[in-house]
Structure 1
Amino acid sequence: MTQKGQAAAGEIVEVREAHRFDEKKLEAYCRENVEGFGGELSVRQFQGGQSNPTFLLETSGTGGGKKYVLRKKPPGKLLASAHQVDREYKVMKALAATDVPVPKMYALCQDSEVIGTDFYIMEHLDGRVLRDPTLPGMSAGERAAIYDQMNDVLARLHSVDLKAAGLEDFGKPGNYFERQIGRWTKQYRAAQTDNIEEMEHLIDWLPQNIPADDSVSIAHGDYRLENTMFHKTEPRMIAVLDWELATIGHPLADLAYNCMLYHMETFSQGTLMNVNFAESGIPAEQDYVADYCRRTGREGIENWNFYLAFSIFRLASIVQGVYKRGLDGNASSDKATQYGEVAGYLARTAWDLAKR
């Protein structure tokens, strides 16, 4: 695995050829459906991200000078149950009434006549997306505060009252791991290009080793530093982003996913494996987990390696899907075809954890 790259991460570029759509139709839709929209519309694309293409909308001229963000399904044939932008929209709109920071939602469009796929439009926030988990150039105190904030917001998310938030129907409560292992095995099979021995071991081992803890909460599904936004100068999170994988799930799946970098190096995110925790201000894994347990009233976590192995297995399946879309030519980033060896690395890492 290569060390985390910074090239094009979050960079704003011209709309990729495969993702072009009728901007005049979009502008007409926005005038009718987006609060405060006015002026001439220009569209550019965020280069980062591998799943749902994301665009910066800017207005100029009379009544203009505003920015919005649009997320849409990718073009082409899609895997079942993937790229559900309506679910992203629903969960963020519901969480606006809680203490979990999310952008304001403006509109959800499920009329394919507008730009060819479902999409939604949300508030554009001006903040920092911290892509390198080692937080270079910061003081130990700043790093500690940022990680503490990430931990605190995750605990807040898992404490949201599903009924009060109107999210009781956002997924099936209970048996989360059984269903998820089945889902990601199916997704992996649909995108499989080579035989990965460790994925076969995991597909067999995971269903037989599900812990008894059947806790239920909103699970973000992709909760990591890079999918949050912080205030421009303060160590304060102003938004959790990229809710595509959110569901009613298991809080410890979210926590383990959030802790994966303690155990592996990733193509896009880097790693925490080589960090000097005492000097850097970044908490060691056991301290990070202990803080979460304190905030959520847990006395500890049994079978921690199961949760880690499951999370990395699921990521391997997602990465395999990205690679397959890259081969098929409809991924949202030019980097997708570089993911060919990554699924195997992730599977080996997950299996090593499972065997401990």
Structure 2
Amino acid sequence: MTELPGLDLDRLAAHLGKGPLTGELIPGGRSNLTYRVTDGQDRWVLRRPPLGHVLATAHDMTREHRVISALADTPVPVPAVELLCTDPEVLGAPFYLMEEVAGVALRDPGQCEWLTPSGAAALAERLVDVLADLHAVDPDSVGLGDFGRPEGFLKRQVARWGKQLDASRSRDLEGIDDLRDRLAERVPESSRATVIHGDYRLDNVLVTQEPLGISAVLDWEMATLGDPLADVGLLHVYWHGLGLAKDPITGTVPSLPGFPSADELVARYASRTGADISGLGWYIAFGYFKLAVILEGIHYRYTTGKTVGAGFSQLGALTLPLVRQGLLAIKEY
């Protein structure tokens, strides 16, 4: 039986009453750990927190399980959840199982050889439309009316990610405290509150070829009730990235023929929802700050040997470029 860090297949098999089990780490995730598990007949995907330096509220499996379950009968495509285990005796941390959904998370151009320019344009529109559908869900109607505290959401977010930064701080980061201070000084008034994903981007959805579409939205660990423009600003960040030809933030997929610009994505969202996006610069700056803090936390875990998977050694080099982009965005706000 294959041994995997963070996944004891013998204990899991005993807990499920199935087995023997085999599993593999699904690459690409930078925070919670995701594995594919099978008993030879059924196949599941398992999610659990990272192995160490777990920041408070940042890897809450119960919240992630709850929001996916709540969205099951809405227009937002999500996997069916199988079970939630909060007993740390099984795997050393809470985890949940969900169905394995067909589709691919598009992270680099090599996965997109089949995608025509017209298909890229249609996929980008669908990506925005799914986000608009999420923001149109009535939280009370799906049992998420108490999923967060929308009042004062943005102010708390700036404070929260500032605390996350302090908890992961291991080196001097020029400009990051300036960016945090500017965000705190200019917090906008939210016009409405919705269910938000918290990390919405192309490689957090599964894409199918036939028919072309989005089969599932994944990675709900930061979902809550809050200002929907926080999702839009962060999507802009992931789509525009650092503005480089070989961009490590975007994976360069959005630069392929047919994909619209980040500003065009935002314009479609505004058209679909009627949202006022005139103050989006603050949300974009906050998105850069949030991503810089996330990557700095991963860098901290990597340097202390508390995470697994490929590609972590380069992530620490991205923190300062993200901070610089955030300072440019807040200057324009």
1:191-340 paired onto structure 2 within 5 Å: 191-260=168-237, 261-264=239-242, 265=244, 266-267=247-248, 269-271=250-252, 275=255, 280-298=257-275, 300-340=276-316
Partner Cα separation in structure 1 for residue 258 and residue 106 of structure 2: 16
2:106–2:253 Cα contact (<8 Å) kept: no
Partner Cα separation in structure 1 for residue 317 and residue 119 of structure 2: 35
What are the ranges of 5 or more consecutive residues in structure 1 without an aligned counterpart?
1-13, 32-37
2:49–2:59 Cα contact (<8 Å) kept: yes
Residue 172 (structure 2) pairs with residue 171 (structure 1): no
Q: Which residue in the other structure is 1:70 paired with? A: 46
Q: 1:103 offset after TM fit, Å? A: 0.2
Q: Which residue in the other structure is 1:10 paired with? A: none
Q: 1:336 offset after TM fit, Å? A: 2.2
Q: Which residue in the other structure is 1:7 paired with? A: none
What are the ranges of 5 or more consecutive residues in structure 2 without an aligned counterpart?
none
**What's the Cα RMSD here?**
1.9
**Code of the aligned partner of 1:45:** L
**Alpha-carbon spacing, 1:229–1:15, altered in 2? closer, same or farther (3 Å):** farther
- TM-score, normalised relative to structure 1: 0.86
Give CA deviations for 1:20-73 in whole Å, capped at 9, x if unaligned: 42x222112223xxxxxx55321221122111111111112xxxx111011112
Partner Cα separation in structure 2 for residue 306 and residue 44 of structure 1: 40
Q: 1:43 aligns with which of 23, 35, 40?
A: 23
Over the matched positions of the two proteins, sequence identity in percent amounts to 36
2:196–2:224 Cα contact (<8 Å) kept: yes
Q: Which residue in the other structure is 1:84 paired with? A: 60
Q: Which residue in the other structure is 2:135 paired with? A: 158
Q: Which residue in the other structure is 1:140 paired with? A: 117
Count of residues paired in the alignment: 326
Higher alpha-carbon deviation: 38-47 or 115-124 = 38-47
Give CA deviations for 1:277-315 in whole Å, capped at 9, x if unaligned: xxx2212333221211121122x3122211100011000
**Alpha-carbon spacing, 1:252–1:272, altered in 2? closer, same or farther (3 Å):** farther
1:102–1:238 Cα contact (<8 Å) kept: yes
Give CA deviations for 1:225-245 in whole Å, capped at 9, x if unaligned: 100002242221110001111
**Alpha-carbon spacing, 1:290–1:47, altered in 2? closer, same or farther (3 Å):** closer
- TM-score, normalised relative to structure 2: 0.92
Hey, which bits of structure 1, 4+ residues long, moved more than 6 A? none
